[in-house]
Structure 1
Amino acid sequence: MSAPTQVRPDTRPEGTETTSDDTPEVFHYVRKDKIAESAVMGSMVVALCGEVFPVTKSPKPGSPVCPDCKKVYERMSG
């Protein structure tokens, strides 16, 4: 099953993978219009790399980004 994406999505990284102290290892790119809905309602979002998860954390400047999401985003915006 593939998720619909925009040609040039308005995205920002969102975290899913965590370390033992519950801090995200990497943040994923997801559709911006789905972030607030997921954070409030607990609904699932689909990252550009295909990961499916509920948004639970917000990235800080300099946070690591999922390399697969970054590659997809660069191909879409390039």
Structure 2
Amino acid sequence: MATQTIERPDTDERVDDGTDDDTPKFFHYVKKEKIAESAVMGTHVVALCGEVFPVTRSPKPGSPVCADCKRIYQQLKKG
């Protein structure tokens, strides 16, 4: 089974803490070719972990990554 994986994390995982802060809690792995489309058109992407969201932020080096996405990505690289 051939599986295409992504090369960079991206997300819009928001924490509802009662403030208007929209800083992502962590970033997810999504298909690279879907990132620009989502950012421009507002379409939703599906992360490796199954989370569905529109791309609104780009990760900075050292940004936290979803543990489930990271685990799945590592398994895909091995197999």
- Regarding TM over 0.5, the answer is yes
Q: Is the CA contact (8 Å cut-off) linking 2:30 and 2:45 kept in structure 1?
A: yes
Q: Which residue of 2 aligns with 1:68?
A: 68
Q: Which runs of 5+ in 1 are unaligned?
A: 1-5
Q: Aligned-residue CA RMSD in angstroms? A: 1.3
Q: Which residue of 2 aligns with 1:7?
A: 3
TM-score of the pair, normalised by structure 1: 0.85
Alignment: residue pair count: 73
Q: Which runs of 5+ in 2 are unaligned?
A: none
Secondary structure of 1:50's aligned partner: coil
1:16 Cα deviation after fit: 1.8
CA distance in 2, matches of 1:59, 1:74: 19
Q: Which residue of 1 aligns with 2:52?
A: 52
Task: Quote the sequence identity (%).
Answer: 63
1:22 Cα deviation after fit: 1.5
